[in-house]
Amino acid sequence: MAVGEVFKGEVHPVAGVRLAAIESGIRYKNRLDLVLVEIEAGATVAGVFTQNAFCAAPVKVARKNLHDTDSRYFLINTGNANAGTGEQGALDALRCCQSVADIARVDIREVLPFSTGVIGERLPVEKIVAGIPLAFTSLDESSWEKAARGIMTTDTRPKLVSRRIDVEGESVSITGIAKGAGMIKPNMATMLAYVFTDAAIPRKQLKEILGRASDKSFNRITVDGDTSTNDCCMLVATGKSSVAVNAEIESAILGVFQELAVALIKDAEGASKFITVHVEQGANSKECLAVAYAVAESPLVKTALFASDPNWGRILAAVGRAGLEDLDIKAIEIRLGEVQLVSGGEVSASYTEALGQREMDRDEITLTICLGRGDSVETVWTSDLSLDYIRINADYRS
């Protein structure tokens, strides 16, 4: 299941970037599972990675290589996370990088490896190395949709967003792909995501933009509260448009990040509903997020949403256990869509079960929680918790 429609807009190639996606049989036959991205020399690259202490071998290698030198290639495989594999996992990731480096005639440190899939199994290096030559011959500036499909695991559809804006009479392209349907919880990162632009952005500034954009997008989504071992988010600026970054370009980059983040939640494992949890009038951002995540990650709230059950007491209880000090429950207001659920800390006099049911029957739902404590506002996106989520994860290794 998935909510809403897949991206159908025009895909704008990014000058200085070529991509390829091939079938290498890593875990399944007849499935794109190996993606190679080539970035022309002179581009700037920034990345953020999972904070999970058991981060995967490719995360460690990619983080170090990104720190050491400029990046020219991304090598992404699905079907195997190469996590929990010890020192051998690092050697396997490096061998794959060396294979790319040998063909491209670049330093091994210019290659960043990324993996996603089952944890605790050794990476099938021979299959990946055998597929790399074909990936090189398949590189093309227009292979964005194939690349988006090539990084999918339990996703049911590719996540691809593309924009073109005019700045000072010249066009700037921003195109990104992402994957992730489960094991999603903000702690940067929350999945695999790659966003590219032909704007000219110095590396220091690129890192700052990435931090701000990821914080307001991929760090505002949750499916199940689990932070993966392999998550990353990369931002690349090729500079081929010669347009220097400005506020308009940064805003467009944020827009692409947020569209990709929303696309992940709309295709969350087993999702039948897309939920926006909007918390306002908080004393600060931290407490707004505490409330938002208490609601968004509550199994009772999420199962009620799946059942289209306007059981508003579960929402109220989640707000109450979010840990806010000196919470004045009489100041709390909660809306379900446009329907007032709670006012003055109790059920609103205007609320009826029929009104609540009308809102809960929608596949896109907004919960608004007013704390009455200040001016801070935060938004988190989540999904419902369905029987299919359990089935998908129970059968994941089958």
DSSP string, 84-99: S-HHHHHHHHHHHHHH
Environment class of 62 (CB within 10 Å of its CB; exposed 0-12, middle 13-18, buried 19+)? buried
Tens of pLDDT along 310-333? Answer: 999 999 999 999 999 999 999 999
Please give the helix or strand (H or E) that residue 39 lies within, else none: strand 34-39
Catalytic amino acids? 190
The stretch 187-212 carries a mean pLDDT of 89
Answer yes or no: same fold for 17-266 and 274-394. no
The separation between CA 236 and the C-alpha centre of its own chain, rounded to angstroms, equals 16
Joined together, the tokens standing for residue 302 give 């999420």
Question: Helix (H) and strand (E) counts for the chain?
Answer: 11, 16
Q: What is the pLDDT of residues 232-282, one digit of tens each?
A: 999 999 999 989 999 999 999 999 999 999 999 999 888 899 999 999 999
**Mean pLDDT on 18-36:** 96
274-394: CATH, from 1.20.58.220, 3.40.50.300, 3.20.20.10, 3.10.20.340: 3.10.20.340
The pLDDT of residue 394 is 83
pLDDT band at 398 (very low <50, low <70, confident <90, very high): low
Contact 291, 297 (CB under 8 A): no
CB 108 within 8 A of CB 79: no
End-to-end CA distance of the chain: 20
Residue 2 pLDDT exceeds 50:
yes
How is 313-348 classified by DSSP, letter by letter? HHHHHHHHTS--TT--GGG-EEEETTEEEEETTEE-
CATH architecture observed for domain 17-266: 4-Layer Sandwich (3.60)
Please say whether the beta carbons of 217 and 180 come within 8 A: no
Q: Omega of the bond prior to 268 within 30 degrees of 0, cis?
A: no
Domain ranges of the chain: 17-266, 274-394
What is the pTM assigned to this prediction?
0.94
Identity (one letter) of the amino acid at 88? Q
372: left (phi over 0), alpha (psi -120 to 50) or beta: left
Rounded average pLDDT over 204-216: 96
Q: If you average pLDDT over residues 48-58, what whole number do you get?
A: 90
Q: Are 197 and 173 spatial neighbours (Cβ–Cβ below 8 Å)?
A: yes
- pLDDT value at 397 more than 70: no
Segment holding 312, helix H or strand E:
helix 312-320
